Amino acid sequence: MNGPDWQIGRILGIPIKVHVSWFLIFGFVTWSLATGYLPDMLPGLFVGRYWLMAGVAALLLFGSVLLHELGHSLVARRYRIPIGQITLFVFGGIAQMHREPPGPRAEFLIAIAGPIVSFVLGGLLLGMATMAHVGQGLVALGILLGSVNLQLGLFNLIPGFPLDGGRVLRAGLWAWSGDFNRATRQAALAGQGFGIALAGVGATVMVGAGTGAIAGSLAANGGWIILIGAFLFTAARASRRQAAIRAALATVTVEEVMVRNVATLHPNLTVEEAVTQHFLPQGYGGYPVWDERGLVGMVTVQDVQALAKSLWPRRRVGDIVEPWSEDMEVSPKTPVLTALDRMFSTGRSRLAVMQDGLLMGLVTRSGISRFLQLRGLPR
């Protein structure tokens, strides 16, 4: 997802972020509630009160989306899948999982957890709203939140990847064929089909509103349906490409894509010397740091940039190096997909390739990208 996002907190250790596009949908939902739903349900209130209630309702609606994504995340954690963050954006929310599920059962349970949370919330809220003896405002809010949660659960069960229903479909196809990448491609193809269908429905609604066949106020709804269909189509197409990449790399090992002639930096080298003698003339984004004891760690362009330029002549590479850890290295026979998953889960762009205590090379994201490009595959 392109564009900036901001962290607003943590829940159970998972960073919660809002994407810049979230503010657009938050404003639209608030406006539509303040000018439509609330005046219809609660006539006779002051305009300012409608807007205040609408803002609170919009926040609670996105709270429901957050709970939906937490449902996915908690089940994923049960299978030891790291969750990088949960991001709220214009089309709802997404939990960033750093690893694919270990099997079809895990995929099914992770996928279905979100809709189950939405259905339970929707049922509870609607039940409380119909039975509670409280003010009209709370009843209207309960009906709104309950209805939206039920709709959220139902929409996500559309059997098109990457929606939850598409992940359920992938789990079934995966269990049937035993081929994860093939199942992903098939479920993503279904997602593209549903994306086209949604866009078609949205266009029909807009044309009907424009010709007077249906209420003109529904034109905006048609526009949102088109946008949702386009988003689903684009996300499904990206998933098909990712499946093609994983299939192409399924039998490739690290030694086939690694950079073999690797320069190393000594920890006593000044940062200025590292920049002028290595980073600038050689153009690499990072280097292993090596001394008489062996691998000390890794230093990257980002580590250099984090240090004020005035300090470069006085600080050593050893002062800014990321210390060595076991997840910083792989063996030459490691599958590329394993190395790539580790890079994504740790946020690194390169890993040292080690064998019997010797540095054999580096495997990098850019190197894997070149490997795919030379074979005519998407990067």
Task: Record the tokens describing residue 322, joined without a space.
Answer: 């990321």
Q: How big is the chain, counted in residues? A: 379
Q: How far apart are CA 95 and CA 327, in angstroms?
A: 23
Q: How far apart are CA 159 and CA 168, in angstroms?
A: 7
Strand 83-89 and strand 14-19: pairing? parallel
Task: Record the tokens describing residue 50, joined without a space.
Answer: 């409608």
End-to-end CA distance of the chain: 16
Contact 132, 139 (CB under 8 A): yes
Query: Quick check: is 322 catalytic?
Result: no
DSSP state of 307: S
Strand 329-330 and strand 322-323: pairing? unpaired
Q: How far apart are CA 75 and CA 84, in angstroms?
A: 14
Contact 164, 109 (CB under 8 A): no
Task: Record the tokens describing residue 305, joined without a space.
Answer: 């940039």
Per annotation, catalytic residue among 69, 107, 255, 329: 69
Burial class (CB in 10 A: 0-12, 13-18, 19+), 130: exposed
Task: Record the tokens describing residue 302, joined without a space.
Answer: 């980002």
Contact 124, 134 (CB under 8 A): no
Which residue numbers are catalytic? Answer: 69
